[in-house]
Structure 1
Amino acid sequence: MKATQRLAWHYIRQWLFISIALLLSVVIAFSWIVDRTMALNMNRNFANHGFDNLVDSISVINGQLQWDEQLIQQVKVSGGWLQIADSSGAVLHEFFVPDDVPKKYKVGELVSFMHRKVPFPYDVYAYLRAIGDYEIMLIYGEKSEKEHLLDAWLKDPEKAKPMIKQAGAWVQSINAEGDDLESWNKPKSIESKISPYELVLRAGYEEHYGERVAFQYDSNSGNTWVLRMPYSSLDAEPFVIMAGLHLYSETQIWMVGIGAVVLSMLILFAIMAWWESSRIGRPLTHFMRWAEAMSNHQYEEPRNISGKYLSLNGKGRLKRNYRIYSDVWQALSTLSERLQQSESDREQHERLREQWLTGLTHDLKTPLASIIGYAHLLNANQYDWSEAERMEFSMLIQQKAERMDELIQNLNLTYQLKSNALPMDRVETEMNDWMSSIVHELLPVPADTEAKIIFNPSPQPIMLNIDVRYFVRAVENVCMNAWIHNESGTIVTVSIEQDEAGTTLLFMDDGRGMDEQALQNLFQRYYRGTSTDTTDRGSGLGMAITKQLIEAHDGEISVQSQIGKGTTIRFYFPRN
């Protein structure tokens, strides 16, 4: 998988994770908001919003009644009290019960309290439940300031006014159509008319309107007295604790919940940004430093202070955050190795060229010095040379000039081949006859009169498309190289073979062979296996020219050699 595909999958997984994390945070925040809103409603009106939950939480385990302690505490928060009584009215368990509440209820007493048939300072709610063999009554009560204020107003308005004013309440009398008949302490912003629908909402959902409502209906006149009051300081305004804050309304709960979601999103994005910079940005920074180092000819991967590679772990494997760029790392590593090898090859090439130039200068200077010397002798007036001596001097001058011309032609030829500017005139040639005539023309070798050559033709005719001028040069270079760099009397065996894949020319000698360094550099320009001080035939270009000539004929050249067992050079021409 390429880096682009890995990055695509990385970002898909990342955004999928972010989406799931955000969704979870929204769900958690929403659940939190709902839970705190229900808790606030229970604090405001436990009888309507919490009593049913408390009843459902009652169970019997091992013959003992069990309940939800959190809901029991909610009873205290709401300002109420709770009793659990049996079917006879005897109280079994009680929580936060004032002293003026009975410990056992008579037959009609509890019903009278519930329906306010007898005076009682609390609003009382009861729920009957059968659990197995148990028949229990859950009795919840809370002090109803609103009802007492309304009762006080109906009995004696003048005495009730200070209490109503202190509680921030106001009273209103409306007729059967909801029109305002009279009122006291009513805010100016309150409309005079009220509908049955609105009165039911305000009486049933006090927590949503932020005020308590009490009313008294007169069936004879059809009029209704309504008392409305805010959650007073005397009966402390209900609140819930959310994120360490005291919240008194649903709006505050939603604001804190949404704020928590936004904060979690910012934290998540900050974490993802840090993680992204570590996983994506840090490797890129390392690669850029590496590339910059390579531009300054420092090809090795940068290391940290302790000398370890930044991209590798202790086991020598790519670190997790670098694996996404494994192909980039591999490409840089390969490029680094090739640049190091290229630098090493270039330095070696420069050394070989300097050595070759020194040798070539010597090779040109030596015959040139001979030519100049013999020319001075011929032109010297103090000597009276015979015709035979003049002919000898002329022949030596010609030989040295031809040697210089050969070196210059080799130099020119290698650069023509390097720039692909060598004109080729290839013709179809039968190789058995042609090679037979060429190899025998190589003898005798002036530097080695005992040199021998053996030719093994192919049993069937072999046709190759060659330029005979340059192919002769390649054959001559290989054979002469074998004779020049081996002892006198070295035998070169030339063979031609052909199969379905192509044609092979083999040049095998029985000389001393070559070491590893000579094998690696044999076809390098400027490399000379021996000093030209020992012969006038070595130029350091012969085998490099041979390789280029064979490749110009669409062929391949290879060499095998072993010290003491001779050398084999192979020309191979695949079938077109």
Structure 2
Amino acid sequence: MKWKLTGRYLLSVVLVVVLVIFINVFISFALLIVQLGFDIPIVLEKETSPEQFTREFQDRIQIVDHVVTISEEGKNELLAKNAWLQVMDENGKVIADYRVPEGVKTKYTPTDIIQMYKYQEVNGDTTVFIGEKGSGDRHYSYFIGIENPNLNRYVLFYDNHVLFQMFKTGSVIFVIDILIACWIGYMFSKRLTQPLHALIDGIKNLANHQFLIPMQSQGIYENVFDNVNQLSTQLQANEKERKKLDQLKEEWIANISHDIKTPLASIQGYSEMIKDPDYDFTLDEIREYAGIIEQKSLYIKAVMEDLHLTTRLKNKELSIQKKTINMVTLLRSIVIDIVNDPKYAYRQIEFQPTEEHISVEADEILLRRAITNLIYNAIVHNDPDVKIVVKIEMRERAYMIIQDNGKGIKKEELNRIFDRYYRGTNTGEAHKGSGLGMAIANDIIQAHDGEIAIHSEEGHGTRVEIQL
């Protein structure tokens, strides 16, 4: 895998270089063809070369009765080129000239002509070109010197044997250069791909649930390594939470299974007894048994409703129907309903509002369910003589307190109080619930963009604070 990744990286670098070279060459040839075909100056300026200008200048030299003259057009072209002209007969004597600088010879031997053509014999800025003009049985030669410091001519001599040797040496050097380039490319690619190998291994570890292997940040991928490490930490925390939740679910399923089997057994037993013709129950006995069946059925129904509600709250499928309500009125009605319950008629529950009207935007049904759960928790998890105080006041937001002086909650349990399926050790046999009441209350408060906090000390009671 590592060699494959390094090879692909190296191949991609080489292909990019080759592709760039190919595109540049292709574009250059294409532009040159367009210039030559359509006479558009794209690559090179459309201008006659000095050699071609010299050859074509013979048309500007006129010979009449062996008298040599230069046409006006030729003179203008020489002026435009910043050039001068010397015309010589067959003996090398200058018989016509134009714009010749001082110090230039007026008669040339064959050696002088070669020297003049090959080397700059006039000055460092002038390059001399030679041409020929024929007229009848006579032939004339001419020099055109172009004064242009950017114009240069070099005479090249070469030996085929030397060229061949140079080609062989160049081929060896080229192969060595390719090998060096590949080695450098490999080292460069390896250095860049090593962190990728580490990243791939790290991601494999995450996929295999190996979250405890931190990766050291490397090179240009430092931020990527940091993010992967953060992901590893988050996945590790999520895995712990998942295991804890799975354990709670297993415990909850075992408890709920037991709790549901017990009322179902009662329902089944009393139903069989009532319908059995061998038994002759009085009306009072039938009503008593029917009451027990109803009570057990309501318990099972409450458990099912809690399950349905917590699932919808968790998946955010529950629609919150908000409207303006008076929280003082709502809390007062909740307290009155609980006190009117015959089971709790003798409990000490006080309602202490600081004012008579505190408006909030909320779903009254859901909020009633949450607050009722919290008050019932204070009742059923404490002794009958517990005192419960329900307060409400207006700060920056509606601020509610449900406080008791009961048993309190252990510190290790307080951190799990809002976990789904969790039952505290204070839950007595007579008051086993679904284990979802506190989680439902928390979810409802959060669904209203509110905050809920619990403060408790074992043996000194519990204080629940709600802000909406």
The change in CA–CA distance for 1:412 and 1:250 in structure 2 (over 3 A counts) is closer
The change in CA–CA distance for 1:449 and 1:441 in structure 2 (over 3 A counts) is closer
- Asked if residue 291 in structure 1 is aligned to residue 203 in structure 2, the reply is yes
- Asked if residue 514 in structure 1 is aligned to residue 409 in structure 2, the reply is yes
- The one-letter amino acid of 2:111's match is S
The change in CA–CA distance for 1:496 and 1:485 in structure 2 (over 3 A counts) is same
1:426 CA drift (Å): 3.2
Instruction: Give the equivalent residue in structure 2 for 1:367.
Output: 263
Instruction: Give the equivalent residue in structure 1 for 2:464.
Output: 569
Which of 335, 338, 352 aligns to 1:442? It is 338
The change in CA–CA distance for 1:559 and 1:261 in structure 2 (over 3 A counts) is farther
- The one-letter amino acid of 1:514's match is I
| Contact map agreement 1:363 1:536 (CA 8 A) in 2 | no
| SS of match in other structure, 1:535 | helix
| Contact map agreement 1:513 1:564 (CA 8 A) in 2 | yes
- The one-letter amino acid of 1:548's match is D
- Asked if residue 543 in structure 1 is aligned to residue 456 in structure 2, the reply is no
State TM-score, norm by structure 1. 0.49
The change in CA–CA distance for 1:364 and 1:251 in structure 2 (over 3 A counts) is same
- The one-letter amino acid of 1:521's match is R
Instruction: Give the equivalent residue in structure 2 for 1:420.
Output: 316
1:266 CA drift (Å): 5.8
1:334 CA drift (Å): 1.4
Structure 2 CA distance, aligned partners of 1:310 and 1:355?
37
Q: Please give the per-residue CA displacement for 1:93-118, whole angstroms capped at 9, x wherever unaligned.
A: xxxxxxxxxxxxxxxxxxxxxxxxxx
Instruction: Give the equivalent residue in structure 1 for 2:454.
Output: 559
| Contact map agreement 1:477 1:546 (CA 8 A) in 2 | yes
| Contact map agreement 1:363 1:532 (CA 8 A) in 2 | no
1:257 CA drift (Å): 9.9
| Contact map agreement 1:294 1:336 (CA 8 A) in 2 | yes
| SS of match in other structure, 2:220 | helix
Structure 1 CA distance, aligned partners of 2:163 and 2:410?
92
Give the alignment of 1:184-195 within 5 angstroms.
195=111
Q: Please give the per-residue CA displacement for 1:243-290, whole angstroms capped at 9, x wherever unaligned.
A: xxxxxx999899979987995786466346414422x21111111111
1:541 CA drift (Å): 1.0
Structure 2 CA distance, aligned partners of 1:446 and 1:533?
20
- The one-letter amino acid of 1:419's match is N
1:534 CA drift (Å): 1.3
Structure 1 CA distance, aligned partners of 2:431 and 2:289?
19
| Contact map agreement 1:371 1:397 (CA 8 A) in 2 | yes
1:552 CA drift (Å): 2.8
Structure 1 CA distance, aligned partners of 2:343 and 2:169?
103
| Contact map agreement 2:352 2:391 (CA 8 A) in 1 | yes
| Contact map agreement 1:485 1:530 (CA 8 A) in 2 | no
Structure 2 CA distance, aligned partners of 1:330 and 1:565?
46
1:483 CA drift (Å): 2.4
The change in CA–CA distance for 1:310 and 1:297 in structure 2 (over 3 A counts) is closer
- Asked if residue 463 in structure 1 is aligned to residue 347 in structure 2, the reply is no
1:502 CA drift (Å): 2.0
Q: Please give the per-residue CA displacement for 1:120-165, whole angstroms capped at 9, x wherever unaligned.
A: xxxxxxxxxxxxxxxxxxxxxxxxxxxxxxxxxxxxxxxxxxxxxx
Kindly tell me the number of residue pairs found equivalent between the two proteins.
323
| Contact map agreement 2:351 2:389 (CA 8 A) in 1 | yes
- The one-letter amino acid of 1:486's match is N
Give the alignment of 1:22-33 within 5 angstroms.
none
Structure 2 CA distance, aligned partners of 1:381 and 1:532?
40
Instruction: Give the equivalent residue in structure 1 for 2:153.
Output: none
Between 1:412-421 and 1:477-486, the stretch displaced more is 412-421
| SS of match in other structure, 2:400 | strand
- Structure 2: state its 5+ residue gaps: 1-90, 93-108, 119-161
The change in CA–CA distance for 1:467 and 1:537 in structure 2 (over 3 A counts) is farther
Instruction: Give the equivalent residue in structure 2 for 1:327.
Output: 223
Structure 1 CA distance, aligned partners of 2:167 and 2:411?
82
Structure 2 CA distance, aligned partners of 1:200 and 1:327?
70
1:360 CA drift (Å): 1.3
1:559 CA drift (Å): 2.5
- The one-letter amino acid of 1:493's match is V
- The one-letter amino acid of 2:458's match is I
1:344 CA drift (Å): 1.5
| Contact map agreement 1:432 1:458 (CA 8 A) in 2 | no
| SS of match in other structure, 2:429 | coil
Structure 2 CA distance, aligned partners of 1:264 and 1:439?
91
Give the alignment of 1:52-71 within 5 angstroms.
none
Instruction: Give the equivalent residue in structure 2 for 1:409.
Output: 305
Structure 2 CA distance, aligned partners of 1:410 and 1:200?
112
Structure 2 CA distance, aligned partners of 1:466 and 1:199?
108
Q: Please give the per-residue CA displacement for 1:321-345, whole angstroms capped at 9, x wherever unaligned.
A: x142222112111111111111221
Structure 1 CA distance, aligned partners of 2:460 and 2:179?
77
Larger Rg computed on CA atoms = 1
1:463 CA drift (Å): 0.5
Instruction: Give the equivalent residue in structure 2 for 1:393.
Output: 289
1:201 CA drift (Å): 12
Instruction: Give the equivalent residue in structure 1 for 2:62.
Output: none
The change in CA–CA distance for 1:403 and 1:326 in structure 2 (over 3 A counts) is same
Instruction: Give the equivalent residue in structure 2 for 1:300.
Output: 212
Instruction: Give the equivalent residue in structure 2 for 1:277.
Output: 190
The change in CA–CA distance for 1:551 and 1:310 in structure 2 (over 3 A counts) is closer
| SS of match in other structure, 1:294 | helix
| Contact map agreement 2:322 2:361 (CA 8 A) in 1 | yes
- The one-letter amino acid of 1:391's match is R
The change in CA–CA distance for 1:432 and 1:399 in structure 2 (over 3 A counts) is same
| Contact map agreement 2:393 2:400 (CA 8 A) in 1 | yes
% same residue: 31
Which one has a larger percent helix, Structure 1 or Structure 2?
Answer: 2
- Asked if residue 474 in structure 1 is aligned to residue 390 in structure 2, the reply is no
1:198 CA drift (Å): 5.8
Which of 409, 415, 421 aligns to 1:526? It is 421
State TM-score, norm by structure 2. 0.60
- Structure 1: state its 5+ residue gaps: 1-175, 178-192, 203-248, 302-308, 312-317
Structure 2 CA distance, aligned partners of 1:483 and 1:456?
18
